[in-house]
A and B are shown apart, each in its own frame.
Chain A
Amino acid sequence: MIRATHLPLLVTLLTFVLAYALCAAQYPAMLSSRVIANLLTDNAFLGIVAVGMTFVILSGGIDLSVGSVIAFTGVFLAVVLRDSAMPPLLAFALALLIATAFGAAMGAIIHYLEMPPFIVTLAGMFLARGAAYVLSTESVPIDNALYDTLQALYIRAPGGGRFRLIGGIMLAVFLAGALVLHRTRLGQNVYALGGGVATARLMGVPLARTTIAIYAISGGLAGLAGIVFSLYTSAGYSLATVGVELDAIAAVVIGGTLLSGGYGYVAGTFFGILIMGLIQTYIVFDGTLSSWWTKIVIGALLFAFILLQKGLTWATTSRRKVLSGSAAPS
């Protein structure tokens, strides 16, 4: 059964299929497994971070710190692996722990000090980026046996496409995110929080625990994205991934999630990521278009999807008003 809340997701899916079909009609090579595999590999870190962002936005918040956390994790791993004999797996665990604790701390400040998430995560963004600068201002190469093994892991598809480990991690994160959101109490609490803080409190949602968990998840996934990004680039650089938070927010919105919270699906975010990746791939294939068209097209898509959501909300609320016979206070 298709409900109005499913419509943005369907539109996203349709946009992706249509865009892909158009691209494929112009460049048949776009259908090759290489392009599909690269679409997953190149957007792996962005996808992982976007899952965390979906949680945050569903709850009605925003997390501006994720790009900086990715950069910090990358630099942290590179510096630790260069300067100490710590086994990489332990370093990964430590990085994840730091990132999760960082997110949880921001969640705690947002809840207990009752500050807008926007400004708290802005401070977090400065803090994480600053910490990355302090560790190293230069790009630190990573030279590690485990990295070589992990980077060499891939499944070869017919047609020469290489589905690498990091693409697989992204898919796993999307699956786990969808399961948590739709099959656990935490997920229901996230949706409830997005529907309205006052309502959620009256419903008995544990506000403190949920808020902290949401930002801890976002921070932890940003840490995971940092690990994936360091596997992708084999280096840690404090100036890397500037503005990734905006890409992640854009992917979530294009995926049909309402930015005021409460409505949306992780699956939509997945197709949002794929649409953004597709735009970039198309520009590479075309060769004459310049990279700035990516930004303009993504901006236009954002606008289109916001308008669509606006129209849907308007349509559903006005219908509900007619049905119930009384105008709800806006």
Chain B
Amino acid sequence: MISQTTPSVFKRVLPQLVILAVVLACNLAVFPGFFALSVHDGRVFGNLVDVLNRGAPVALLCIGMTLVIATRGIDLSVGAVMAIAGAVAASVLAGGQGWGTALLGALAAGLLCGLWNGVLVAVLRIQPIVATLVLMVAGRGIAQLITEGTILTFLDPGMIRLGAGTVLGLPTPIWIWIGLGALVITVVRRSALGMLIEAIGINEAASRLAGINSRVLLICVYGVTGFCAALAGVIVAADIKGADANNAGLWLELDAILAVVIGGNSLLGGRFSILASLLGALIIQSVNAFILLSGLPPEFNLIIKAVLILAILVIQSPKVGHALYMLRAGGLPLGGRTKARSPLTSKEEKAQ
């Protein structure tokens, strides 16, 4: 089993590894000391560590987002859930409780938000994009309700350690996202769970006929996403030592979806790779670092991101893929071969 999956996993994430290597090489070109690591006071410093550390929220979000997208869904509410989790943690700390209680409270709140989304999608059968839009709109309002409109700050050393502390020389967030990622990948791939999730994404009706309890599984998947979002929210709050209901996790849902797409996962559900999504998150963070280091005005950040998305879309587009396939097969690529579209359209209809 292992000998069979290891090379295929490598093959699966190869495009992401290549993109990451190219982006890191660009970083090295504009900033020769990019790979330099140094150790001060038992803590490793360096740009690579920064990329891993700053990428933590998006990496955490895209673990859950990959699963949701694999079921043919989407979760727009993760940014708002981050804000709610941060607000809950800060208000529990403000109430005089310890950081453990605050963390548990925040995670429970995130799980609850995820389960709410899951019930809307799985039981009430509302389209995911709409179902999670409700919490995306209302979530920040709820977070502000919890913090009463202020930015709640805290000084609890235990909580701050989650965002800014170090374990074995590396910042805690790195350990958290790598740990959770490894855990979810193991659970999903060492059991049949991942295959069942893919089955739902490919054809939910068929998966139900095959005996999969898709309802419970969907609710669980959204619950996991809420949990990941809450963890990301706690890390962001701990990093700035406060809960900012307006700006915590703002637009991060889009970054998380982007990471999943860069990871080569189809938005139409089906096969997924969490590892590739995590690499996607690192690619996004490396691009951010590149823009900072290259001295380009930060105004260009969004434009470069947009061009990156467009390029990836074109590469992943079924039509372009088909044309490339025809090119490689030695046939006529485009002109005069328009009839070659028919297998594609039937595939598309099957997907619907």
Contact = CB atoms under 8 A, between A and B. Distances in A.
28 contacts: A62-B129, A115-B313, A115-B316, A118-B267, A119-B309, A123-B306, A123-B310, A126-B306, A129-B302, A130-B300, A130-B306, A131-B303, A133-B301, A134-B297, A246-B137, A250-B133, A259-B129, A259-B130, A292-B145, A295-B138, A296-B141, A296-B142, A296-B145, A298-B137, A299-B137, A299-B139, A302-B137, A310-B124
B138 A127 contact: no
B81 to A, nearest CB: 13
Interface string B9-20: 000000000000
B303 A295 contact: no
B136 interface: yes
B300 A116 contact: no
B137 A114 contact: no
A82 to B, nearest CB: 18
Which of B297, B313, B316 has the largest number of chain A CB atoms within 10 A?
Answer: B313
Nearest to A64: B254
Contact of B317 (A114, A124, A295): A114
Interface in A110-159: 112-116, 118-120, 122-127, 129-131, 133-134, 137
Contact of A126 (B297, B305, B317): B305
A109 B313 contact: yes
A184 interface: no
A74 B330 CA distance: 50
B133 A302 contact: yes
Given A119-B267, A119-B309, A290-B144, 20 more contacts: A113-B317, A118-B74, A124-B306, A126-B302, A126-B306, A130-B299, A133-B303, A134-B300, A246-B133, A250-B137, A253-B130, A253-B133, A259-B129, A290-B149, A295-B144, A296-B138, A296-B142, A299-B138, A302-B138, A330-B205
A10 interface: no
Contacts of B127: 259-260
A62 B53 CA distance: 34
A133 B254 contact: no
Interface in B138-182: 138-142, 144-145, 149
B257 A292 contact: no
A130 B140 contact: no
A285 interface: no
A27 interface: no
Contacts of A306: 126, 130-131, 134
Interface string A240-253: 00000010011001
Interface string B305-334: 111011001101111100000000000000
A116 B317 contact: no
Interface of A: 62, 109, 112-116, 118-120, 122-127, 129-131, 133-134, 137, 197-198, 246, 249-250, 253, 259-260, 290, 292-296, 298-300, 302-303, 306-307, 310, 330
Given A113-B317, A130-B299, A306-B130, A123 B309 contact: yes
A197 B205 CA distance: 20
Interface of B: 74, 124-127, 129-131, 133-142, 144-145, 149, 205, 245, 254, 257-258, 261, 267-268, 297-307, 309-310, 313-314, 316-320, 348-349, 352
Contacts of B140: 292, 295
Chain B contact residues: helix, strand, loop or mixed: helix
Given A122-B309, A134-B300, A306-B134, A113 B126 contact: no
Contacts of A198: 349, 352
B77 to A, nearest CB: 10
Given A119-B257, A246-B136, A306-B130, A126 B309 contact: yes
B28 to A, nearest CB: 25
A113 B321 CA distance: 10
The list of the 4 closest CB pairs from A to B, nearest first, reads A299-B138, A295-B141, A130-B302, A130-B303
A200 to B, nearest CB: 12
Contacts of B261: 119
B267 A116 contact: yes
A210 B135 CA distance: 32
Which of A62, A113, A120, A250 has the largest number of chain B CB atoms within 10 A?
Answer: A113
